[in-house]
Chains A and B, each alone.
Chain A
Amino acid sequence: MDLSAINPVLLIASLMVAATPILLAAIGELVVEKAGVLNLGVEGMMIVGAISGFAITVESGSPWLGFLASAIGGALLSLLFVVLTQVALANQVASGLALTLFGLGLSSLMGQSYVGIKPPQMGKLDIPVLTDLPVIGPILFGHDPILYLGIALTAAVWALLKYTRVGLVLRAVGENHDAAHALGYKVVRIRIMAIMFGGACAGLGGAYISLIRVPQWTEGMTAGVGWIALALVVFASWKPWRALLGAYLFGGVTVVQLNLQAAGVAIPVEYLAMSPYLITIFVLVLLSRDKSGAPASLGRIFHATH
């Protein structure tokens, strides 16, 4: 066992990379839940985003187009959830599960001819002086653009929810859809837009795994990250900055266990690999006493009687 082989600077830098897919998916789901909708299909939208982004990147040679395609792919899949829950008024838990099961199948069907290919890489941010700084250079200025997009998105969602009229209406719809409807807000329309935003974010998160984090396509490669993102929204009490904190915490756990595996610690690999899931459960238990942050209409079906 050689723990000195673990470089703390690289550890923090790779922690940020590991956290980004969780963060992107969680920020999207946070907006969806703030609008009063519980979409358990995050895992399905992520994996469809992962393969859409991967396929378009390989075909076009441009990771930027790939990421765009992943957002569109995730949003398109979330439209199915829209049809089920907002048009057909189906149970949101069952519909979310359906989305995940369908997405897992669809992605492996789409990805058959992409197994074992290496995608073109997205360039990293390289600011001449700043990136070369010791320690803070690689941590703050040495990443790919999507990682910064994740952080920017967190800030944008925070500002939107806290300071804008749109955010206020969104929260009103999530807290009490009947009252919001009575005030003349289009509950269903607002929720549809929130769900599609969530789908696009989950798609981006998925593509981040297949294009940057791994980068390769394998079936079922999201391996529960979508579910961890769902747990993260609860962990964050529906607050964007706490989602960022939580994502880095989970990213940290993932990276540390991978580093320990590589360093050959005496703990068997399987036990290290299950640690992120166990820690998710542990954190859920710690935080589930306080449910005050949950939107009051979360998961309830809205049907306007005229």
Chain B
Amino acid sequence: MIVLEKRPQPSQTWSMATPVVAVLATMFFGGVLFAALGKNPVEAIMTIFWEPLFGEFSFYYRPQLLIKGAPLVLIAIGLSLGFRAGIWNIGAEGQYIMGAIVGAGVGLAFYPLEAWYIFPLMVIGGAFGGWIWAMIPAILKVRFGTNEILVSLMLVYVAEQMLASVSLGLLKNPEGYGFPGSRNLQSWDSAHNAELFAGSGMHWGVVTALIAVIFAYVLLNRHMLGFHIRLTGEAPRAAKFAGVNPARLILFCLGASGVLAGLAGMFEVAGPAGQITIDFNVGYGFTAIIVAFLGRLHPVGIVLAGGVMALTYIGGDIAQSNLGLPSAAIQVFQGMLLFFLLALDLLTNYRIRLASKEVA
């Protein structure tokens, strides 16, 4: 009979190994899924994981890794702070949208002026948009004890309606021949989040993501607030006795993740996406949840996980055009990854023993 025995301390080895094993397991079962869809599984997996990095057109795909990875890492870093403390912000998609709307809105208010201060103002606007959207569940939780999971998620749908509203109204391009969507920020130098080195994929969002990673690392390992976050997640009762202020923690964790998600949205709209449109958001806010867990809620892990997830996006696109693999298959693939990760986490916290049935 198999018996689970709780480890006194979570296993360090398994904690590092589970994400890798989960990725391998997902590759295997993803291959089975692709085979069931009538595709050559080896070819499909190679297309997703090898082609973007080392294939014939990798000079084009490698920069894409930064472009797709940056928003994922940026959002996931913010989410990981809250997740560690048991504060569940799952509405990052909404905060991402609001950051993009406010950021683009601030910029477009100056159109067609060319000035150095426009882009910094847009950055502040983006951060503010995400922050204010995350403050709604935060304040409701602190003031009324409302469940932040449900409120932050409901606000995603509200933000999507806002996005539709501004792309058809407030921010609509007056010279757009009646098509929905804002002016294209890429063709306006003062507002364009351009590549810092041509062809590298490196834009301000990537830089910000790296800064956020360093900040999160220092915060969690060297700062009292970071210690409180970890303490609240791992031993809530001890945190209470230690005098941790839960309200402050909720406001900080939700606020920080809102700011980072808002920034991600703003950098996206001013750079790779270029304009506010009805279908501007592509689910980064939800995929970032997977990134945060795959990275073990650790800043460095999140960078690696962001890379893996960006790879599945890019490789998925290639597989879609080359092999005709449906894009939904990639979504299933990403979902599978989270499943294996959560299931394998058992090995981190428990020891599996074979035991003979005891006689009572």
Contact = CB atoms under 8 A, between A and B. Distances in A.
Nearest to A44: B335
Interface string A259-279: 000000000101101100110
A201 interface: no
Nearest to A305: B6
A105 B342 contact: no
Interface string B85-106: 0001010000000000000000
A288 B144 contact: yes
B301 to A, nearest CB: 15
Contacts of B290: 101
Contacts, number: 133
A84 B339 CA distance: 8
Contacts of A285: 140, 144, 146
Interface string A88-128: 11110111011001111110110010000000000000000
Among A90, A230, A278, find the residue whose CB has the most chain B CB atoms closer than 10 A. Answer: A90
Contacts of B165: 268, 270-271
A231 B149 CA distance: 10
Interface string B132-161: 000010001000111101110111111001
Counting contact residues on chain B (CB < 8 A from A), the size range is 35 or more
A151 B336 CA distance: 35
A80 to B, nearest CB: 7
Interface in B311-360: 326, 328-336, 338-339, 342-346, 349-350, 358
Given A101-B290, A106-B335, A306-B358, A281 B140 contact: yes
Contacts of B176: none
Contact of A102 (B151, B164, B332): B332
Nearest to B88: A93
Which 3 pairs of residues, A with B, have the shortest CB-CB distance? A105-B331, A102-B335, A270-B165
19 contacts: A80-B339, A88-B346, A89-B346, A94-B293, A94-B338, A101-B289, A101-B335, A105-B330, A105-B331, A112-B328, A224-B154, A224-B157, A228-B154, A231-B147, A270-B161, A278-B154, A285-B144, A288-B147, A289-B144
